């Protein structure tokens, strides 16, 4: 359910901002945050975005392979490791949200832009938030599991 919720909210917000904003338009929300509309043909931080198009299918395949692996792990750990399951579900939802964009549009729609003075963090979307929060929770889960004493 978490993965599905992330996919639905991610796709709904991307669809909204893709229609509400013109490309590269910026709407200031806070002194450090704008809404904008940009298309990313690469991966995180626009990695490989300037390539001639093969990266669309490479990152689509990578996202699908990750989704299959995560789904298998989720089935194997169902109910036994709730923190791990939540982390993986968040990553799964984010990965599939961006895969949908790549297949449907040939790029990922980004619309969240944070900055400080002349420093700008690359624009991102809610799928990216799901992936990032899931990855942080995954690390936290592992750290907490390492601290837990093992039964003799």
Catalytic residue among 10, 34, 101, 128: 128
- Asked if the structure places residue 151 within a domain, the reply is no
Active site (annotated) includes residue 128: yes
Conformation bin of residue 123: beta by default, left when phi > 0, alpha when psi is -120 to 50: beta
Question: What backbone torsions phi and psi does residue 39 show, to the nearest 5 degrees?
Answer: -115, 130
- Residue 50 above 70 pLDDT? no
> Is 10 among the residues known to form the active site?
no
Q: Does the residue 138 lie in any domain?
A: yes
Q: Taking Cα atoms as reference points, which of 53, 40, 25, 36 lies closest to residue 128?
A: 40
Domain ranges, residue 62:
2-21+32-121+128-145
Out of 10, 110, 118, 141, the active site residue is: 110
Q: Look at residue 78 and tell me if it is in a domain.
A: yes
User: Average pLDDT, stretch 119-136?
Assistant: 97
Residue 150 falls within a domain, yes or no? no
Tally of domains in the chain: 1
- In this predicted structure, the answer to whether residue 74 has a pLDDT above a threshold of 60 is yes
Residues of the chain with pLDDT > 90, as a percent, come to 78
Whether residue 42 is contained in a domain is answered as: yes
């Amino acid at each position: 359910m978490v993965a599905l919720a992330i996919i639905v909210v991610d796709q709904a917000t991307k669809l909204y901002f893709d229609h509400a904003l013109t490309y590269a338009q910026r709407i200031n929300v806070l002194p450090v945050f704008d809404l904008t509309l940009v298309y990313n043909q690469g991966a995180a931080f626009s990695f490989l975005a300037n390539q001639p198009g093969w990266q669309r299918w490479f990152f689509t395949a990578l996202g699908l392979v990750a989704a299959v692996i995560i789904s298998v792990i989720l089935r194997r750990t169902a109910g036994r490791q709730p923190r791990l399951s939540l982390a993986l579900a968040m990553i799964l939802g984010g990965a599939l949200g961006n895969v949908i964009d790549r297949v449907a549009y040939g790029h990922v729609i980004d619309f969240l832009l944070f900055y400080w003075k002349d420093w700008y963090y690359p624009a991102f979307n809610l799928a990216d938030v799901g992936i990032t929060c899931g990855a942080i929770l995954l690390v936290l889960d592992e750290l907490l599991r390492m601290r837990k004493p093992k039964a003799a």
